[in-house]
Structure formats: structure tokens, C-alpha cells
Amino acid sequence: MNQNTQNLFGFHEQALLTAQKYPNLTLGRITEHHKDRYIMMTSDKEMDAKVSGKWMYEVRDPSLYPTVGDFVLADTTHETAIIHELITRTSVLERKTAGLTSDGQLIAANIDYIIICQSMNENFNVRRLERYLSMAWSSGAMPVILLTKNDLTTQPDTFFNNASSVAIGVDIITCTDQHASGYQELEAYLKPGKTYVFIGSSGVGKSTVINHLLSEQKMETSEVGLNAKGRHTTTSRALFITSKGSIIIDTPGMREIQLDHADFESTFQDIQELSSSCKFNDCTHAKEPGCAVQKAIHDGILPIDRLHNYQKMLKELKYATERQAYLERQRNKSLSKLKVR
């Protein structure tokens, strides 16, 4: 496989080395996932694909099944490719599913950057942005914030500053589809051979942005009403390659974000650093004397809403962790009963 092909599909070194061990199988990348069916692209074609019968029989963990962006090794001698190997992921973005199970929903794998989209209108929400950042930091990829529809506001600096206040060490870029130069900043950010997944709530303009990057209507878009609220359009995850060689993954709009493996140390780095100066190691930042966090709030350095969201998300994560431990104990009990029988 030549260098151009490697860059085109974003194949990393581990994928290429693993492929050499299986000369009878073809290296490919998953571009779409529909229940138990996949679409994968190889160096010379795009094919329908499914996992092998052995895989379906032996693998019970949903996280060990392919998702969009995964590198796989498959037998392509049939009309439908048969996937036999899943190559170790360099990163994986997953969303905790609502309900009583501890399983997460895989969104994309082997991604370099996570583009978190929020529009510069009433859709913009700092607290939601913190949740997206937590999910992004835990993936192993680098988060980037994209503020869309900057033509809808007369105060773009306000949105930019609000995003900056919670996005420590994260790049922030803006765009609009209302004039020809509206995407220059974003286009300059995208590099050939790198994989970018776009996430955000419904109606923030993800599909419109991706259509521009692809220079064609790959994703369906909905009209925006007088109130500038977009309607949710993307219904499945899909991978595309731009004319400049950047690899783009679009995702359905997320209506809620459950917490699981969120990376709080990165998302709330400012509160973590302040906490180290508190008088008590187990300070809850409520009414304890010598609380550095409360002092920062009193001095106008830290917004009180940020602390409240930190505490709320921490409680959710604690509940999710305890719930997962409970489900694991229940599974172990069930397995023990089966062994006894």
C-alpha cells in the first residue's frame, strides 16, 4: 500500500503492521454502520460487510464490534465482505446510553479531532459544552470547538469568550454559510489524512458544514425557521473524505448526554487546581473554611454556575460508576449460577 493510499484512509502504523500478519485478508475502514451490516472501503473499492459467524457467536461485548472509523481485516472474495479482525483502536468516542445498562454507544473510532459544534444563537449552552468536552477528553482524541452561524449574532465575541471560559487548552474556530469566506478558518484547520468527527445537538448546522467541506450534498439538511432553529436531519453515522484528503465523520444530533468515563480533570482543570489549595483534602466546596474554590467565586475569578455544573456532573458520574459496579456484580452472580448447574 503506497503512502498516498495510507493518508487517504487515515491508516495508522499499527493497522498496517497488523495487516501484514494476515496476507489473505484485506485492510479496510468502516464508513457506515447499520445494525448488523456495515459499509467498508478498501484501497480500491467500497463494499457491504458483516462480521464473521464465529465473531457473532463468541463476542458478546458490543464495544468489541466495529463502528464507524474502525480499521478491520476482511475476506473480500465474496459479494459481502466478511470481517474477521478488529485492529486495536487509537481512540474511541462513546456516549453513555440512558437506562439501566452500563453499556455505552460507540460513536466513532480512530479519530484525531472531535469537532464540538454549537451555534451562536439560543442553542448555545455553556453547561452542555462542558459535557461534550468531558466526553471528548475521555476519548483519546483532541477536542475542538466550532461556533457555527456567526451571522446570527451581533456579539460574536460574547459567544467566543463564554466558550473560552470552559474550554481550557482547546482551540475555538467559527464559521458561517452566509458568505464565500465563511469557512476559511475551518478549512485551514483540517489536514489531509487526519480524521475529524463532528458532534453536537440537533440543528446546530453540522450537516451544512460537512456539505460545504465535501462540496456536495452528502448529508440531508432541513430548512431553518424564522427562529433560526434547525431540525435534526442526520440519522446515522457516516465517514467521508474531502477533496483535500481530510476524513470527516458526521453523527446524529445528541439530545442528551449521559456520563460515564468523562474526563473531569481536563474539563474542569481550573477547579481541580483550585481544590489543591483548599484547607481540607475532602473539601466539598460548600461552606468549609479555607475553601480556595469558594474564594475564587467570591473574588469573581470562577463563575458559580461552573462550580454547580461540576458538582452536578460529579454526582452523575458517581451514580453511573456505582450502577456499573452493581450490574457487574449481578452478571458475576448469574455466571456463578450457570457454572454450578
pLDDT for 237:
65
Q: Is the dihedral of CA 333, 336, 338, 341 positive or negative?
A: negative
Residues 227-234: what's their mean pLDDT? 40
Q: Which of 43, 36, 37 is nearest to 16 (CA)?
A: 43
How far is residue 116's CA from residue 118's CA, in Å, rounded to a whole number? 7
pLDDT for 44:
87
Q: What is the pTM of this model?
A: 0.72
Any domain includes 262: no
CATH number of residue 214's parent domain: 3.40.50.300
C-alpha cell at 144: 475542538
Q: How confident is the model at residue 1 (pLDDT cuts 50, 70, 90)?
A: low
pLDDT for 332:
60
More confident residue, 35 or 253: 35
Q: For 279-293, what is each residue's pLDDT tens digit? A: 888 888 888 888 888
The single-letter code of the amino acid at 228 is A
- Reply yes or no on whether the pLDDT at 243 is more than 80: yes
Q: Which of 111, 58, 105, 107 is nearest to 89 (CA)?
A: 111
Any domain includes 257: no
Element (H, E) at 38: strand 37-41
Q: What are phi and psi of 95, to 5 degrees?
A: -120, 130
pLDDT for 72:
96
Angle between helices 126-137 and 304-340 (to 10 degrees): 40
Q: For 244-290, what is each residue's pLDDT tens digit? A: 899 999 886 544 455 455 555 667 778 888 888 888 888 888 888 88
More confident residue, 337 or 67: 67
If you average pLDDT over every residue of the chain, what do you get?
80
Are residue 52 and residue 148 in the same domain, yes or no?
no
CATH number of residue 54's parent domain: 2.40.50.140
Strand partners, 75: 82
pLDDT for 125:
86
Q: For 288-323, what is each residue's pLDDT tens digit? A: 888 888 888 888 888 888 888 788 777 767 766 666
Are residue 238 and residue 209 in the same domain, yes or no?
yes
Number of domains in the chain: 3
> In terms of residue numbers, what domain contains 184?
92-250
C-alpha to C-alpha distances, 282 to 92, 270, 308, nearest whole angstrom:
32, 17, 17
- Helix/strand/coil for 33: strand
